[in-house]
Amino acid sequence: MLPPVDLRPPFNITRTSHLRLNVADLAESRDFYTRVLGLVVTEEDESTVYLRGLAEACHHSLVLEKSRDGGTARRIGFRVFFEEDLDEAYRYFRDRGLPAEWVQMPHQGRTLHVSDPVGTPLELCATMETRPRLHINFEQYQGAHAQRLDHFQLLTPDVYELCAFYSALGFRNSEYLEYGDDLVGAFMYRKGTCLDLAMVPGDGPSLHHFAYTVSESHDIFTACDFAGILGYGDQVERGPGRHGPGGMLFAYLRDPDGHRVEVFNSHYQTIDLETEPVRWDAASVSTNARWGLPALEQWYFEASPFNDVPLKSPAVRPAPMTLEKFLSTPQPR
């Protein structure tokens, strides 16, 4: 069912690094991410805010850019290990007829813009300016004390095609979802935990969510509490709950532009090669493991489109058990 993985890929992507979002009101979005999630502002001007988690030394993991296209995503970013990996990546994408161009980005070293086969805009860099980590500066803690950016989840018209592409770049699966003979969910990683990039069927490419880790389970409730205190209570879209795939505690919130962000309490290790990916039967498993209600329909189908990237629909539209369906179905006593 799963595509083969190239364990010696043509260039070395090491981890999820950063992302860039368009927002309509920069001050309001800054307020949400600093006071609800607890991210730290590294630098800002009248059009851009650079943020990072408390445990992050690199200059930014989230870039907010003021735009009339608020609610759209610009790019998701990955780090590569060496500068020469960027050169190999440039050749790799060009040889396959995929977009690849060198760009200058503030606070980063040499940066490459590329797109995967379904059109997801990617940003690759090998270096970034650094700042002191603030994870033991407890006097600066706000909100949920978000520690570090962990992963992205995409909606894509063809999960197998996209999974095969990233498998050829050395991404391995920690877990996956099957429905009959179809791959309907892939949870892939490079950094030795169980996730850097997840993909599920939907109108895409689009950014379903990005996720930050928190140190303690109660920090997840703190995110929800601060959302309520600061007027974003109706933006708590799902949870707190516990995932089936992954097994972590989580909550999902929507920011003022509708971008979805997850806070969760980290992962298990997946470094060793003998670790087998876990198969889940999509017909018999909820995204909740043992407790909690299904997600709202919007959680499955709404996502942030990428700026100026056309959307394609999957051949078969997913039909998950949503909260709306669950509540309208008679339940056994």
- Using one digit for the tens of pLDDT, what is the confidence trace for 298-331? 999 999 999 999 999 999 988 888 999 989 988 6
**Burial tier of 93 (Cβ tally within 10 Å: 0-12, 13-18, 19+):** buried
Q: How far apart are CA 192 and CA 178, in angstroms?
A: 23
- Using one digit for the tens of pLDDT, what is the confidence trace for 63-82? 999 999 999 999 999 999 99
| Residue whose C-alpha is closest to residue 64's, from 74, 55, 79, 54 | 74
What was the pLDDT predicted at 244? 76
What was the pLDDT predicted at 245? 75
Q: How far apart are CA 92 and CA 108, in angstroms?
A: 22
Q: How far apart are CA 122 and CA 120, in angstroms?
A: 6
Q: How far apart are CA 333 and CA 331, in angstroms?
A: 6
What was the pLDDT predicted at 266? 81
And the tokens for 208?
Answer: 């379903």
Q: How far apart are CA 85 and CA 89, in angstroms?
A: 6
| Residue whose C-alpha is closest to residue 123's, from 164, 162, 152, 160 | 152
**What separation in angstroms does the CA of 261 have from each of 164, 211, 223, 308?**
26, 6, 11, 22
Q: How far apart are CA 192 and CA 172, in angstroms?
A: 10
Distance of CA 28 to the CA centre of its chain: 22
Q: How far apart are CA 232 and CA 252, in angstroms?
A: 12
And the tokens for 325?
Answer: 């369906």
What was the pLDDT predicted at 286? 59
Instruction: Give pLDDT < 70 ranges for the chain.
Output: 285-290, 331-333
What was the pLDDT predicted at 289? 59
Q: How far apart are CA 190 and CA 169, in angstroms?
A: 9
